[in-house]
Amino acid sequence: MKTLMYLFIPFLLYASPFDSNLLQIGAKIFPKVTLMEKGTKERIQTNVNLLIVTTNAYKSDAQRLSDIIDAQYDGTLSNHSLNLSIVSPKEALEQKNVHGFILLIDPNDPVLLTLLEHAQRNKVLTFSFDPELLQKGVAISLYIGRSVKPYINLSILKQTPFTFEYGFLKLSQPY
């Protein structure tokens, strides 16, 4: 019995908070939501530019998410090219013409607030899988219970201001 327990310790220590189902749902929803926000849609010229913002702790999850998005959209979102990059939080602060940040970072990361302020100033949509990030100022997160619902942070939507299509707002759960 002890031998079996020792075999599973590495899996428990390095378990990811992002299971494949969660990443697949986010991969389908987050890019599409980018086109549902009026101001973001107007800023898109030919390319939709999304960044998966992560730290070393979640690098493999970020790569899995990137692979799923690539398989889902094959580089095209609606009639636009979809550009997707995996970057560190500091690299994200240096990027120009970005339409969305998909955040795979710890809620207590010291650069998080700077990143969220940067996103608000530059009208960059922020997405996460973590309710704690929603509490800290992310615009859109996922809730998975009996059904899957996007959660929208109303205070962020009012501050920035983001304007979404009615269908998305009706589907979403306000936070």
CATH 3.40.50.2300 is the classification of domain 30-174: yes
Distance in angstroms (rounded) separating the CA atoms of residues 18 and 104: 9
Is the distance from CB of 99 to CB of 125 less than 8 angstroms? yes
173: which 2 tokens? 């759960």
Is the distance from CB of 121 to CB of 108 less than 8 angstroms? no
Distance in angstroms (rounded) separating the CA atoms of residues 24 and 154: 25
Distance in angstroms (rounded) separating the CA atoms of residues 155 and 139: 9
Angle at 68 between CA 156 and CA 36, to 5 degrees: 35
Per-residue model confidence as pLDDT tens for the chain (175 residues): 444 444 444 434 445 567 788 889 899 999 999 999 888 888 898 999 999 999 999 999 999 999 999 999 999 998 899 999 999 999 999 999 999 999 999 999 999 999 999 999 999 999 999 889 989 999 999 877 677 788 888 888 888 878 888 888 888 888 8
Distance in angstroms (rounded) separating the CA atoms of residues 97 and 83: 11
Distance in angstroms (rounded) separating the CA atoms of residues 22 and 71: 15
Is the distance from CB of 16 to CB of 60 less than 8 angstroms? yes
Reported pTM: 0.86
Nearest C-alpha neighbor of 133 from the set 160, 102, 159: 102
Distance in angstroms (rounded) separating the CA atoms of residues 116 and 137: 7
Amino acid, res. 15: A
